[in-house]
C-alpha cells in the first residue's frame, strides 16, 4: 500500500516511497515485540508549521519490531521546513503507547531517523508527554531527534533535548526556569535539570550499593547482614546516619556481606570504618564474628590507603607507597598466600610494589611499578582453578605484557588499557564475551574488537564497561540481566554505546555483577540491570537498583529487569 499526502508544504509517502528527491527524511518507527503485543493499529499524526498535515490509522503487525517507515519531503525542496510526528499504538479504543519525533531537513541530503517506542514502565505510565516532548529513559524530554546512518542500518536514534527542553521548529527550546524536573526538589535552569543532590561517586556490591553526593553518603539494597548500615532492606537510597561518614567518606569497598569506607580529615586519610558481617576476617580488624555495627579504626598517616576494593568475602588496600595488602577469605589464594587456604583477619602483605589494582569476585590483578601486570586468586585465565602464585599477564609471544596503565578484573577474566588507551582482555571467553576473536579460554592479552579509545575501565563477573575519551559509556560481555544497559538481554560481543540521551557524557561507572550504576556529567546517578535475585543461603536480595522497585520477591522472574539506564533519586529524609 502506498499513499501520498501534500499539504502545508509537506509531502508524506507512507511505505516504500520514492527516493528521487534531493532533500528528504526517512523516519523508521520501531516497537519492541514485548510492548503491547495485542496492539492492532498504528495511528500517525504529522504536523508541519504548527498545523496538522495528515492523520491516518493502519493495521499493524506485531511479529516484527519495524512497524512503519515514513518518507517526508518538503514542498519545493525547502529545507527550512520542520515536522513533528505523533505515533500511537492502539489496542481497541485505547492507546497503549505514545511516541513523538520531531525534526527537519538538510538541503540536498537524505536524513534518516530510527525512532523507537519504549516498553519502559515509567514511560508507559507517563502517557503522552505533549507537543514537542517524548518519553525517554523514564522521563519526558524534548522530542528533537538525532539522526544519521543509512536507511537499512540497525540503529537506535535518541532525542537530543533534555527533560528541561521542548522541541520547537527542530530546536531544543528551554522550559521556564523553576519548572519541576527529574527527582523531588530538582528544577529546570536554562534548559538543564539542576539536581537537588549532586552525585559524586557510586560503589556497587553484589546486592547493595552506596553513593556519595555533595552532602551525604547514601546506601540501599539488601541489608540481610546490615551491610547498608540499616537493619532492613531498602529499594531507594537512604542517608547513612553516621555523621563522620556523611561528612568525610571518600572511598568505599563493598563486599557481598560487609562494607568499608575510608574517611578523611584535613586532607589526609585518617580512618577506616567497616560494618556488616565480618565473615572470614574481611574487615582486617582482628577476630570478629557475626554481624557488626560500625567499627572504626584510625589509619597511619605516613603511608595512608590510596585505594580500597572488595571481592566476595575479602578486601585489598593499596597504600601511597605502593604496598598492597589483603585480608579475609583465602580459599582461592585471594591473599596471594598460595601455601595456605587459611583466612586472615589482619592485613597480609602481597609481594611487590604496585601502581594500581583491581579486585573482582575472587580474583585480584595489579600493575607492578616495574611494568608487568600480575593476577592471583581465582585464575584470571581459567576460573576453574586456584592460582598457585602470582601470575603475570602474558603477551602473544609468551613474555610478560608490559605497558598497561589500568586493569579491570572480572571473575576468571580481566581487561586492561595500554598507554594508547586501547583495551585488551584475557581469560574466560565463552561465546566471545570478552570482545576478542579467540578461543573460549584466552591465555594471553588480546585486543578487543573496537576503535573506541578509553579513559577508564570497570568490570564485574563477565561484564566490562569503559568511559571513552569523549565521555561516552560503552559496555560489553554477558547481558542476561540487562546489566549492560544497551537494551535487551542478549550478550554483547563488542563494546556498545550506553545512552540516556543522544549526547551523553559520563564520569564514573561501577559494576555489581547483575546490575550497573554510573554517574553522568550532569551529576545525576543512573542504575540498570536486575533489581534482585537469589541471595546467600537462598535468601532474597532485592532493591539494589535504588529505583523503588521493591525489596520483596520469591520468584527470580519477578526480580525486575531494567535494561536501559534509569535515574536514581536521593529523596529528602522523611
Check if the beta carbon of residue 397 is closer than 8 Å to that of residue 409.
no
> How many Å apart are CA 376 and CA 52, to the nearest integer?
66
Domain that holds residue 75: 3-194
The pLDDT of residue 555? 43
Residue 91 lies in a domain: yes
Within 10 angstroms of residue 288's Cβ, the number of other Cβ atoms is 17
The position carrying cell 529513559 is 137
Q: Output the CA–CA distances (angstroms, integers) from residue 92 to 74, 120, 169, 465, in the order listed.
A: 33, 21, 33, 43
Three cell numbers, residue 166: 521542548
DSSP run (H or E) holding 518: strand 515-520
Whether 58 maps to a domain, the answer reads: yes
Is the pTM of the predicted complex or chain greater than 0.75? yes
Tell me if 239 is assigned to some domain.
no
Cα–Cα nearest to 405, from 359, 377, 373? 373
pLDDT value at position 373?
A: 97
Question: CA 558, CA 49: separation in Å to the nearest integer?
Answer: 46
Task: Identify whether 323 is part of a domain.
Answer: no
- φ, ψ (nearest 5 deg) of residue 243: -65, -40
Residue 484 lies in a domain: no
Query: Does residue 556 sit in helix, strand or coil?
Result: helix
State how far the alpha carbon of 385 is from the alpha carbons of 339, 380, 394, in Å: 15, 9, 18
Residue 423 is assigned to a structural domain of this protein: no
| Residues sharing a CB contact under 8 Å with residue 34, sequence separation 6 or more, in sequence order | 119
Q: How many domains does the chain contain in total?
A: 1
In a domain, 403, yes or no: no
Which value, in Å, is the radius of gyration of the alpha carbons in the chain? Answer: 26
Q: Measured in whole angstroms, how far is the alpha carbon of residue 488 from the centre of its chain?
A: 13
Asked if residue 282 lies in contact with residue 329, where contact means CB atoms within 8 angstroms, the answer is: yes
CB 567 within 8 A of CB 526: yes
Identify whether 499 is part of a domain.
Answer: no
pLDDT along the chain (574 residues), means of 10: 35 48 88 90 88 82 89 88 95 94 93 91 90 93 85 79 95 96 95 95 96 95 92 93 91 95 82 91 93 88 91 95 96 90 94 97 95 89 71 95 97 94 95 92 95 97 96 97 93 94 91 96 95 57 86 53 93 78
463-468, strands of its sheet edge to edge: 454-460, 463-468, 473-477, 492-498
Amino acid at each position: 500500500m502506498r499513499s501520498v499526502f501534500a499539504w502545508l508544504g509537506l509531502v508524506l509517502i507512507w511505505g516504500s516511497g520514492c527516493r528521487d528527491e534531493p532533500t528528504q527524511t526517512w523516519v523508521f518507527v520501531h516497537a519492541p515485540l514485548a510492548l503491547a503485543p495485542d496492539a492492532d493499529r498504528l495511528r500517525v499524526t504529522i504536523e508541519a508549521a504548527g498545523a496538522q498535515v495528515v492523520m491516518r490509522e493502519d493495521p499493524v503487525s506485531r511479529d516484527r519490531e519495524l512497524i512503519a517507515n515514513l518518507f517526508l519531503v518538503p514542498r519545493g525542496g525547502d529545507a527550512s521546513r520542520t515536522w513533528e510526528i505523533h505515533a500511537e499504538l492502539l489496542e481497541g479504543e485505547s492507546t497503549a503507547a505514545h511516541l513523538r519525533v520531531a525534526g527537519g531537513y538538510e538541503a540536498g541530503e537524505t536524513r534518516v531517523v530510527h525512532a523507537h517506542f519504549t516498553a519502559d514502565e515509567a514511560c508507559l505510565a507517563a502517557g503522552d508527554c505533549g507537543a514537542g516532548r517524548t518519553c525517554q529513559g523514564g522521563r519526558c524530554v524534548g522530542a528533537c531527534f538525532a539522526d544519521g546512518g543509512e536507511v537499512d542500518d540497525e540503529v537506535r536514534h535518541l532525542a537530543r533535548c533534555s527533560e528541561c527542553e521542548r522541541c520547537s521548529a527542530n530546536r531544543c527550546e528551554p522550559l521556564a526556569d523553576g519548572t519541576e524536573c527529574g527527582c523531588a526538589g530538582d528544577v529546570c535552569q536554562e534548559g538543564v535539570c539542576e539536581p537537588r543532590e549532586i552525585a559524586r561517586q557510586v560503589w556497587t556490591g553484589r546486592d547493595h550499593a552506596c553513593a556519595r553526593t555533595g552532602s551525604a553518603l547514601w546506601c540501599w539494597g539488601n541489608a540481610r547482614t546490615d551491610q547498608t548500615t540499616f537493619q532492613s532492606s531498602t529499594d531507594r537510597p537512604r542517608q547513612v546516619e553516621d555523621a563522620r561518614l556523611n561528612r568525610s567518606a571518600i572511598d568505599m569497598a563493598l563486599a557481598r556481606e560487609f562494607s568499608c569506607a575510608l574517611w578523611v580529615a584535613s586532607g589526609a586519610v585518617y580512618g577506616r570504618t567497616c560494618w556488616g558481617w565480618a565473615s572470614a576476617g574481611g574487615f582486617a580488624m582482628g577476630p570478629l564474628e557475626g554481624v557488626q555495627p560500625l567499627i572504626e579504626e584510625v589509619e597511619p598517616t605516613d603511608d595512608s590507603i590510596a585505594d580500597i576494593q572488595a571481592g566476595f568475602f575479602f578486601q585489598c588496600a593499596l597504600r601511597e607507597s605502593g604496598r598492597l595488602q589483603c585480608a579475609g577469605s583465602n580459599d582461592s589464594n585471594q591473599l596471594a598466600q598460595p601455601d595456605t587456604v587459611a583466612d586472615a583477619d589482619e592485613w597480609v602483605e602481597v609481594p611487590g610494589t604496585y601502581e594500581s589494582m583491581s579486585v573482582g569476585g575472587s580474583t585480584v590483578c595489579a600493575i607492578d611499578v616495574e611494568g608487568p601486570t600480575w593476577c592471583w586468586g581465582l585464575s584470571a585465565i581459567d576460573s576453574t582453578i586456584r592460582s598457585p602464585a602470582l601470575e603475570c599477564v602474558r603477551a602473544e609471544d609468551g613474555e610478560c605484557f608490559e605497558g598497561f596503565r589500568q586493569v579491570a578484573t572480572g571473575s576468571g577474566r580481566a581487561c586492561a588499557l595500554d598507554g594508547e588507551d586501547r583495551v585488551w582482555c584475557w581469560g574466560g571467553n565463552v561465546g566471545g564475551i570478552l570482545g576478542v576473536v579467540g578461543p573460549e579460554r584466552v591465555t594471553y592479552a588480546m585486543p578487543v574488537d573496537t576503535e573506541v579509545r578509553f579513559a577508564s575501565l570497570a568490570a564485574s563477573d563477565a561484564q566490562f564497561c569503559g568511559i571513552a575519551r569523549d565521555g561516552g559509556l560503552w559496555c560489553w560481555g554477558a547481558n542476561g540481566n540487562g546489566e549492560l544497559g544497551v537494551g535487551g538481554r542478549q550478550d554483547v560481543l563488542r563494546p556498545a554505546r550506553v545512552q540516556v540521551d543522544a549526547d551523553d557524557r559520563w564520569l564514573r561507572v561501577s559494576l555489581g555483577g547483575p546490575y550497573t550504576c554510573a554517574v553522568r556529567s550532569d551529576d545525576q546517578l543512573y542504575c540498570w540491570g536486575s533489581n534482585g535475585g537469589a541471595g546467600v543461603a537462598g535468601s532474597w536480595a532485592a532493591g539494589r537498583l535504588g529505583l523503588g522497585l521493591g525489596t520483596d520477591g520469591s520468584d527470580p522472574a519477578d526480580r525486575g529487569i531494567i535494561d536501559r539506564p534509569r535515574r536514581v533519586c536521593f529523596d529528602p529524609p522523611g
